[in-house]
């Protein structure tokens, strides 16, 4: 079927049919692997402030609010960087942007070791590391998967998304151990050095697009002819936003992704441990519950990627949000029934923690076209982070005012059911296409 699997196709004048050519791995897999490493690292760097909170309090006497504010800046910038990172990648290429981001993260992390005042923390952990990690995030995964893969695109997207969870699972205990036993500076230095170690790997092996090597994307029948975009990347990022906001489907996707962020990172990520402790569970047990969610998250995201290659993304998202909503509605019952119910919750919930990413990226690509969608997806991802930040605050307030999380869990469950309804309404009605909005690649087949 014209699949490009042989390096021999690089030289079309040489006959490759006479001898069975040595099967080589398609370069797309190497790009995916390098991206996986970079994404895993970035997730680890992002997790670091959580480890640093207590040691920084001890050394500088800063209160929790100061450190939380730096984390807050970090989160906001991490979310908002997405569309601009996508525009930069379109303009200057994936490799340049990723190398730049890694160097930024490394300098931010290393400079914290000599800081003396809170504003330096805001600047370094908040601004510098936030911007740097924001460039090595979901948007990078979406860009690499869509440029390098036609077949197995969903699988690659799932794996790259799972890299984030894997990174946190690996880095967090390790950095925690370092911070506890060798001082927080050793943790920061480790992060800086790790980022610098990845730099040459990325510079050597990451390539912007298959055409740079005279290849086609994995499983592609035609060569990808997209050149680098021109113009000011920042203006391009806002142009992407303009493209999005005129589309009803953008709001449906962004709205459901807002709820996704709210019901994962925002609610469970922040509040499951305290809520479990409210119900008389030891902190270690509660924390291991969260880790267990992480494990199921990796499994669920990989499976979701495979499913995205096969099934209608809207149906997948409907099921993810629907099941997540139901498991949140049942969570109050789960707290009542010893461990069995809670385990059941963790399995269901963990499986679709970020399983929503591959179908959402896929839908964005179909709706907004291969050339532009990464920027639009960047904005959709920003909505995700906004949801996470706002519900984390809201759930905390509910806890403070009412003394119980049940209300927060149940309303998040209901929000997820709304998201399930939003995604089913994507590309249902005929509408006039906005300028520059290509027609959906696949006509909706609804019965």
Partner 1 sequence: MGRRLLVVGLALALALAPRTALAHAVLFGSDPSPDSVLVAPPASVTLTFSETVIPAGKGITVFSPSGRQVAGPGRVEGHVLTAPISATETGTYVVIWQALAADTHPSRGAFRFVVGQPSANPYLAAVSGGEIGTATPLGFVLQALARWIHFIGMALAFGIIAYQVLTRPAPRLRRLPLAGVALLIAAEPLALIAQLASLSFDGDTAIAVLASPFGRLLGLRLGVALLVWALLALESPWPVLALGGVMALIDGASAHAIPGLPGAGLSLDALHVAAMAIWVGGLAGFLFAPDGRFRPYAIGGFAVAIGSGLLLALAHLGSPSDLVSNAYGWTLLIKAAIVAIALASFSLPLLRRYFPSPSGGGQGGGRLGVAGIILVLAAVLISLPPPR
Smallest separation (angstroms) from partner 1 to the CB of 403 = 7
Interacting residues toward partner 1 by CB under 8 A: 311-312, 315, 318-319, 322-323, 325-326, 329-330, 332-333, 401-404, 406-407, 410, 413-414, 417-418, 420-421, 424-425, 428, 446-447
Smallest separation (angstroms) from partner 1 to the CB of 171 = 36
Question: Which residue from 334, 354, 352, 336 is spatially nearest to 344, judged by alpha carbons?
Answer: 334
User: DSSP characters for 232-259?
Assistant: -HHHHHHHHHHHHHT-HHHHHHHHHHHH
Smallest separation (angstroms) from partner 1 to the CB of 174 = 38
> Among all chains, which residue has been given the structure tokens 């911070």?
179
Across-strand partners of 218?
149
Smallest separation (angstroms) from partner 1 to the CB of 326 = 6
For residues 175 and 419, which CB has a smaller minimum distance to partner 1 in the complex? 419
Smallest separation (angstroms) from partner 1 to the CB of 341 = 9
Distance (Å, rounded) from C-alpha 378 to C-alpha 372?
10
In a 13 Å sphere around the CA of 207, the CA atoms on its Cβ side amount to 18
Do 107 and 45 touch, CB atoms closer than 8 A?
no
For residues 49 and 300, which CB has a smaller minimum distance to partner 1 in the complex? 300
Smallest separation (angstroms) from partner 1 to the CB of 193 = 48
Q: How far is CA 6 from CA 24, 28, 34, 47, in A?
A: 6, 12, 20, 40
For residues 319 and 368, which CB has a smaller minimum distance to partner 1 in the complex? 319
Do 51 and 172 touch, CB atoms closer than 8 A?
yes
CA angle, 446 as apex, 444 and 447 as ends, to 5°? 165
Quick check: helix, strand or coil at residue 93? coil
For residues 281 and 323, which CB has a smaller minimum distance to partner 1 in the complex? 323
For residues 250 and 335, which CB has a smaller minimum distance to partner 1 in the complex? 335
CA angle, 56 as apex, 54 and 61 as ends, to 5°? 100
Smallest separation (angstroms) from partner 1 to the CB of 333 = 6
For residues 197 and 414, which CB has a smaller minimum distance to partner 1 in the complex? 414
For residues 193 and 414, which CB has a smaller minimum distance to partner 1 in the complex? 414
């Amino acid at each position: 079927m014209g699949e490009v699997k042989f390096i021999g196709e690089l030289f079309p004048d040489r006959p490759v049919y006479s001898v069975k050519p040595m099967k080589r791995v398609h370069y797309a897999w190497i790009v995916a692997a390098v991206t996986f490493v970079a994404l895993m690292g970035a997730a680890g760097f992002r997790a670091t402030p959580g480890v640093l909170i207590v040691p920084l309090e001890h050394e500088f006497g800063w209160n929790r609010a100061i450190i939380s504010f730096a984390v807050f800046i970090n989160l906001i910038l991490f979310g908002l960087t997405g569309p601009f990172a996508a525009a930069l990648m379109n303009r200057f290429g994936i490799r340049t942007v990723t190398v730049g981001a890694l160097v930024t993260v490394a300098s931010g992390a290393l400079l914290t070791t000599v800081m003396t005042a809170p504003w330096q923390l805001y600047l370094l952990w908040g601004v510098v590391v936030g911007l740097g990690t924001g460039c090595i995030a979901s948007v990078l995964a979406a860009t690499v998967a869509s440029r390098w893969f036609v077949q197995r695109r969903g699988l690659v997207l799932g794996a790259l998304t799972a890299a984030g969870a894997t990174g946190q699972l690996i880095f967090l205990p390790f950095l925690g151990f370092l911070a506890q036993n060798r001082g927080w500076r050793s943790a920061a230095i480790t992060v800086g050095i790790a980022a610098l170690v990845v730099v040459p790997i990325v510079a050597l092996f990451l390539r912007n697009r298959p055409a740079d090597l005279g290849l086609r994307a994995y499983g592609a029948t035609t060569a990808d002819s997209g050149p680098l975009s021109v113009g000011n990347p920042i203006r391009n990022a806002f142009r992407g936003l303009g493209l999005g906001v005129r589309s009803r489907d953008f709001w449906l996707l962004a709205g459901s992704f807002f709820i996704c962020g709210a019901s994962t990172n925002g609610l469970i990520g922040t509040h499951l441990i305290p809520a479990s402790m409210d119900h008389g569970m030891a902190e270690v047990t509660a924390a291991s519950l969260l880790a267990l969610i992480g494990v199921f998250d990796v499994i669920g995201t990989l499976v979701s990627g495979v499913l995205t290659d096969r099934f209608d993304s809207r149906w997948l998202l409907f099921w993810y949000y629907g099941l997540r909503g139901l498991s949140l509605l049942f969570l109050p019952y789960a707290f009542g029934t010893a461990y069995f119910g809670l385990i059941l919750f963790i399995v269901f919930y963990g499986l679709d923690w970020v399983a929503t990413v591959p179908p959402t990226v896929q839908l964005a690509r179909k709706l907004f076209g291969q050339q532009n969608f990464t920027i639009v997806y960047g904005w959709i991802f920003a909505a995700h982070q906004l949801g996470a930040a706002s519900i984390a605050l809201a759930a905390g307030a509910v806890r403070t005012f009412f003394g119980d999380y049940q209300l927060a869990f149940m309303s998040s469950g209901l929000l997820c059911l709304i998201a399930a309804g939003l995604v089913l309404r994507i590309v249902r009605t005929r509408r006039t296409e906005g300028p520059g909005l290509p027609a959906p690649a696949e006509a909706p087949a609804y019965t």
